[in-house]
Structure formats: C-alpha cells, structure tokens
Chain A
C-alpha cells in the first residue's frame, strides 16, 4: 500500500509533506503557503484515492520547512491535514495543526462593504469557535466570515 502511494507522488529527501488535504481545499492550501511564488521543487497530487475523503490532495515541498504559525492557517481550510517533516527520506516529525487565534493578511473579509475590500489594508481576524464551527471576526467591520466560504488572498505578502 505504502509503495503504491510512493509511485503516485515521488518521495522527497528533505522537506515538508502535507497529506490528507480534501481535494476541494488543495488549491486554497497552495495559496495559504504562497507556493506559486516558491522556487523549491514541489510535487502536488490532486484527486488521489483516500479512505478518509474519497479524494485527497498531497503536497511535497523539497528543502523547505514552515513556521508553525504559517502551517496553522491550513487548519482553517483543512483541519485534518497532516504535516510530516522529512529528513533523509525519513519522517522525523509529525505536526498537528491547530486553529490560530488570529488570522492576519491571508483571508479576504466576506463583507463586500468592509473597508479592507476597498483600500489596501492587511486583513485581521479573530477566530471564534462556536458549536464546533469556526468563524472569523473581522477586526475592522466586526462582521463574521464562515470558514466554509473563505477566499484566500494570493500574494498577500
């Protein structure tokens, strides 16, 4: 089983592997980590078979490690994704993602008349978890955006 997986997306020697991303969220994860501007070797698997989701995405970024704060933003769109740190083809660490308390500059406010959608302002949200649902409370317009309707700002850095 493990070998079959490796055939689909080749292994990396050193770097970060993001696995168990629901297929529909794969491109959001790519945007959250700004991978379109990344010069490292990246292999991306899309619509791979998965027992958990039916179809999943996987991203392998060679020779790059991310800060926990950066990785935790992934929890907004793929809370069950796994992060494996690879050194010399071995998994040396598995990280659990946790929802961040504040989200800065990555997500667009869902309120069309929020000032952040009209002026060049870095968005700031507080995360509010209620009945297991995550919502983002905008620091500026004080409206909440549901994480299921998130739009990721590309090139927000």
Chain B
C-alpha cells in the first residue's frame, strides 16, 4: 500500500516540516515539470471550488495531467456504482488520487482499496489535512517559526474540523491557545483533554476583544447558521464575532489573521487593507503546500 495522507496524524512532525520546506521551495519555483509523465485523478464527490482548483493547479504546476470530476452528476455513481468500484477503476488509470467525499472515513477506505497514494481533500466533517498543513505553512511564513506561538481560535470551535486538526498538529511546537467562541460552540472536551495531557496551556472565552492583543495568530472561522438549534441564538452571536479594523488598534505588530475561507461576515472588508490580513495569501499558500504533498507522496521530494 502506498503512503497516503488521510488524517493529519498520518504525518510525523518531521514529515510535516519536510512538506513545509518543500512548499517554500515551490513558492520560489512555481513551475515544475518533473511529473510530466504522471496522471493525477481529482475525484470530487461533493462540490468545492477553492480546494479543487488549488489541488488541480498544484498538479498542473508540477507538470502532471489531471483527470476526474467536479461533481457526481455525470458519473456512474448516479447509476449506483459503489465507491469501491469507482476507486478500483480510477486506480487503473492514474498515479495518485485526490478525493473529497461527504461520507466520513471514505478517504481512509479508498486508501485501503487502492494501490495508489490517496490525498484526503475533505471527508465530511472529519478531516482535511492539507488545510492544516497550509495553515502551518502560513504561520511559519508570517512568524518565522512555529515554536511558542499564541494562537487565538475564533468562531465555531465545536464543529470546525480545521481547528481540531490544527490542535493535533501544533502540539509539537509548544503553542498557547485562546479559544474564543459562543457558549453553544465551545471546543469539545476531547481536544481540551488532549491539550491537558500534553501540558499545553489554553484559555476559553466568549469575548472576541478580550484577548486580541495577546495573539500572534488570529485564526477566524465561520459561524454557520445551521449549527444553531435556536435561530435567535444565531442572530445574537453572528455579529458578536465580527472582526473590524477598529478592533485591531493595539494588537501585536507581528499578528496575522488567518481564515480557511469562505468568509461571510465574520471579517469586515475594512480588515482586508490592514497589515494584519493574511487570508488571501494563506489561500495561495495552499497551492504550494499541495504541490509539496503530491510530490512527496509520489516519491519525488
């Protein structure tokens, strides 16, 4: 079985750092051709624009050809083909599989039935490991190090898979966390327990302004309306976790704002023009990091 990337915990600390170094090389050398004889399958069983385009551009910039589908409408899946059969079939054609699927665990399953490396581009609410690596890359790029950072995570900490994976990856680097969320969407106990076990300090708060000035990284996430059982509750909190430029007057000068995107109204447009906004560059970084992951799993870098 080939090496795959399904969960962030599939990579060791050294492998993560290696990916970040290779991604930095690709940021300086954007066009490559060493995968010119390779075919990458991009299987999106669930629509996505950002992630799919980022992956497909990454494959193209390495010189690989890309096959696949962007939704299941025009595929045999509508005829009732099983996931197993689709993966088996594609495994005969391609050299690597990138896959997003609404069912949790689907990518792990695919990696077990395919002889090819599989990259999980999101399996339901479970894992999205390339997002975690691009978040780490961006933190290191903006701070010069991953060590001893104060990371303030804001928004939906209960269901947000990106914040959970980021905790699992960053614990190697002695971080301090601030968890800013409404009471309905606090960090689940299992992750807090994980941090306690590893003696990583964290503070919980429901106030966005309260801890803004301590953070090196402000990691904003979207508070989704469908997460609330009571729509009145959503109306109350949706503007409480809205960041605007006036709130940034006394933040640390090195502080950068990240967001996995899409943002809706949690970051006001006037923040975009401040030196702290970094979410668009973060999205660009995703491409270099995905180039590095594809190259690594195919045994090139």
Q: A interface vs B, CB < 8 Å?
A: 111, 113-116, 118-121, 138-143
User: Which residues from chain B contact A121 at a C-beta distance below 8 Å?
Assistant: 109
A121 to B109, CA, bound (A): 8
A116 to B83, CA, bound (A): 11
Smallest CB gap from B193: residue in A: A130
Describe A's contact surface by its main secondary structure.
loop
Q: Tally A-B pairs: CB < 8 A.
A: 50
**A143 close to B103 (CB less than 8 A):** no
**A142 close to B109 (CB less than 8 A):** no
User: Which residues from chain B contact A142 at a C-beta distance below 8 Å?
Assistant: 7, 104-105, 126-127
A121 to B107, CA, bound (A): 13
Q: Interface size on B (CB < 8 Å)?
A: 17
User: Which residues from chain B contact A113 at a C-beta distance below 8 Å?
Assistant: 102-104, 124-125
Smallest CB gap from A142: residue in B: B126
User: Which residues from chain B contact A141 at a C-beta distance below 8 Å?
Assistant: 104-105, 123-124, 126
Smallest CB gap from B109: residue in A: A115
User: Which residues from chain A contact B123 at a C-beta distance below 8 Å?
Assistant: 115, 141
Contact bitstring B101-138, A, C-beta under 8 A = 1, else 0: 11111101100000000000001111100000000000
B82 at the interface (CB under 8 A from A): yes
**18 cross-chain CB contacts under 8 A:** A113-B104, A113-B124, A114-B103, A115-B101, A115-B104, A115-B106, A115-B109, A115-B123, A116-B105, A116-B109, A119-B82, A119-B84, A119-B109, A120-B82, A139-B105, A140-B105, A142-B104, A143-B104
**A140 close to B102 (CB less than 8 A):** no
User: Which residues from chain A contact B82 at a C-beta distance below 8 Å?
Assistant: 119-120
> In the complex, given contacts A115-B104, A138-B105, A140-B108, what are 11 additional A-B residue pairs having Cβ atoms less than 8 angstroms apart?
A114-B104, A114-B105, A115-B108, A115-B109, A116-B105, A121-B109, A141-B126, A142-B104, A142-B105, A142-B127, A143-B126
User: Which residues from chain B contact A118 at a C-beta distance below 8 Å?
Assistant: 103
Mark out the residues of chain B between 57 and 112 whose CB falls within 8 Å of any chain A CB in the assembled complex.
82-84, 101-106, 108-109
User: Which residues from chain B contact A116 at a C-beta distance below 8 Å?
Assistant: 105, 109
A139 to B101, CA, bound (A): 17
A143 to B126, CA, bound (A): 8
**B127 close to A115 (CB less than 8 A):** no
Q: Smallest Cβ distance from A109 to chain B, in angstroms?
A: 8
**A140 close to B84 (CB less than 8 A):** no
Smallest CB gap from B127: residue in A: A142
Contact bitstring B259-298, A, C-beta under 8 A = 1, else 0: 0000000000000000000000000000000000000000
User: Which residues from chain B contact A111 at a C-beta distance below 8 Å?
Assistant: 104
Smallest CB gap from A123: residue in B: B105
A119 to B101, CA, bound (A): 13
User: Which residues from chain B contact A139 at a C-beta distance below 8 Å?
Assistant: 105, 108
Smallest CB gap from A140: residue in B: B105
User: Which residues from chain B contact A138 at a C-beta distance below 8 Å?
Assistant: 105
A121 to B7, CA, bound (A): 19
A118 to B84, CA, bound (A): 11
Q: Smallest Cβ distance from A125 to chain B, in angstroms?
A: 12
User: Which residues from chain A contact B108 at a C-beta distance below 8 Å?
Assistant: 115, 139-140
Q: Smallest Cβ distance from B195 to chain A, in angstroms?
A: 16
A140 to B101, CA, bound (A): 13
Smallest CB gap from A118: residue in B: B103
**A119 close to B83 (CB less than 8 A):** yes
